[in-house]
Amino acid sequence: MRFVIEFDSQREDDNQTVELPVEAESTSVDNRSLVGKYAIVTSLLVVCIVVQPISVLIESQSVVQSIQTLVNPRSSSSDLASRVYQAMQRKGYQISQNPEEVNIIYIRGADEFGKPNGNRINSWSDRRIILQFRNGNPAIVGNWAATVKPGLPAIKNPLRKTGAAFIEPGQYQAWRVGTHHGIFGRVEPGLVQVAPVKFRRDSDRDGDVNNEPIQSGSIGLNQHSGSNQLLVDKASYACLAGQSENGHLREFMPRVKSDRRYRQNPNHIFTTTILDVSDL
């Protein structure tokens, strides 16, 4: 015996029905069985029409993409993380591989992918990154435009007659979570210098310190934001500044404070590494 299940067409201008033959082994068919088969067909349609688009929508969300990037970093991010990690290894620098600890790194003259960008003075031509380990592999968990160089006003009219200070590439354990007090009155949470670092002073005020002698000292070289300024200008007189205020206050500092060493000891002194793009 053959039964026919009728479905009304979905189009308003088409009143035809669609006949689906259903084979039966006996002349008596339980209506509940028929309803069950109809439910199966409906469920399959729901899965095809609804579930797949929802999964695509979920995967498109930035939070999910961020999690996927941490679990399985995309090639560009993982490539930069590997290059930074290998550069630090070559130089014999300390690298924390504990997944609950951060590595604060600046790359001079690099774009967001770690490629040379000309290292321009008074431009946000450096990168501030945080590197952590995920499943034993290095991963970039923060990447912001920054400067490790003073702005043009500091170079042309330095606070000291000996010239504006440019931090020397290297690794320094020299910063503690605290409050940055800018010379123009800006106050914000940041990393405050508490130990000496190496630097060169631009005595001839041309932005080139390659031939200047290396000095060492504590000169208030803090880590803070650049107040969203288009150019560096007065945002840095020697400090390590991230261009974005939001990036500094809501991303960089919370990530730094999530470090287990800081949670255990608020006076923990953080290490920061300054690389040149040529090191990668």
Is the pLDDT confidence value at 13 over 50?
Answer: no
Q: What is the pLDDT of residues 106-146, one digit of tens each?
A: 999 999 999 999 999 999 999 999 999 999 999 999 999 99
Q: Is the pLDDT of residue 35 over 80?
A: no
Res 33: pLDDT: 53
Please, which residues have CB within 8 angstroms of residue 121's CB and are 6 or more apart in sequence? Answer: 149, 152, 155, 207
Residue 200, pLDDT above cutoff 80: yes
For residue 6, being part of any structural domain is answered with no
Residue 5 lies in a domain: no
Structure tokens at 174: 């020299």
Q: What's the whole-number average pLDDT of the chain?
A: 83
Has residue 31 been placed in a domain? Answer: no
Q: Which residues neighbour 191 within 8 Å (Cβ) at sequence distance 6 or greater?
A: 104, 175, 176, 177, 178, 180, 222, 223, 224, 256, 270, 272
When divided into structural domains, the chain yields a total of 1
Residue 37 pLDDT grade (very low, low, confident, very high; cuts 50, 70, 90): low
Q: Is residue 19 part of a domain?
A: no
Q: Is residue 49 part of a domain?
A: no
For residue 161, the enclosing domain spans 80-279
Domain-embedded: residue 36: no
Q: Is residue 2 part of a domain?
A: no
With cut-offs at 50, 70 and 90, classify the pLDDT of residue 26.
Answer: very low
- The answer to whether residue 230 sits within a structural domain is yes
What CA–CA distance (Å, rounded) separates 189 from 253?
A: 8
pTM (whole model) above 0.85 = no
